[in-house]
Amino acid sequence: MYHPKMNDFLARFKAMFDQIDEQVEQQYGQLYPLHPNRPEHDTTSNPQADGLFTIGADFTPGYGSKLGRGYILDVHMSTLETVSDENRWMIMEDVVKQLHHLLPRYFPERHLEVFAEGNHFKIVGDFSLGNA
């Protein structure tokens, strides 16, 4: 059970990543065959459960990170094929560009940015819930 403001944040976060997932599926969804157990794109009620891509972010408290706490970007491809580093990087760059564009639209009241840290991309900024 989360605070209502956290529920709102997470719902908008998911909606943003669902929009990115849709765009990435349309652009790159035919690059690799789907894992045999994975449903085709747009065949379930949750974009994270179908198609080639699962796109989201996982919270990290940021221990040992110069950027501190934030959300590590996760782009997973559901295929048995080997994904080339070139294709993986091309897709990741596209997802990051979309994040730069969509974060201010989904979270206009917050200052959120995407940074590279090591071999990850991380969303950092204002994750406060304000006054309860």
Report the alpha-carbon distance of residue 24 to residue 28 in Å, rounded.
Answer: 6
Query: Per the domain annotation, does 107 fall within a domain?
Result: yes
What backbone phi and psi angles, to 5 degrees, belong to 57? -150, 145
Report the alpha-carbon distance of residue 65 to residue 116 in Å, rounded.
Answer: 11
- How many domains are there within the chain? 1
The pLDDT tens digits of the residues spanning 8-34 come to 999 999 999 999 999 999 999 999 999
pTM of the model: 0.91
Query: Per the domain annotation, does 130 fall within a domain?
Result: no
Q: Is the pLDDT of residue 65 over 70?
A: yes
Report the alpha-carbon distance of residue 34 to residue 72 in Å, rounded.
Answer: 24
Query: Per the domain annotation, does 131 fall within a domain?
Result: no
Query: Per the domain annotation, does 132 fall within a domain?
Result: no
Residue with tokens 């990435």: 24
The pLDDT tens digits of the residues spanning 66-83 come to 999 999 999 999 999 999
Q: How confident is the model at residue 132 (pLDDT cuts 50, 70, 90)?
A: low
For 5, 37, 58, 70, 72, the CA distances from 61, given in Å and listed in that order, are 19, 33, 10, 7, 10
Instruction: Give me the domain span that covers residue 34.
Output: 4-125
Query: Per the domain annotation, does 20 fall within a domain?
Result: yes
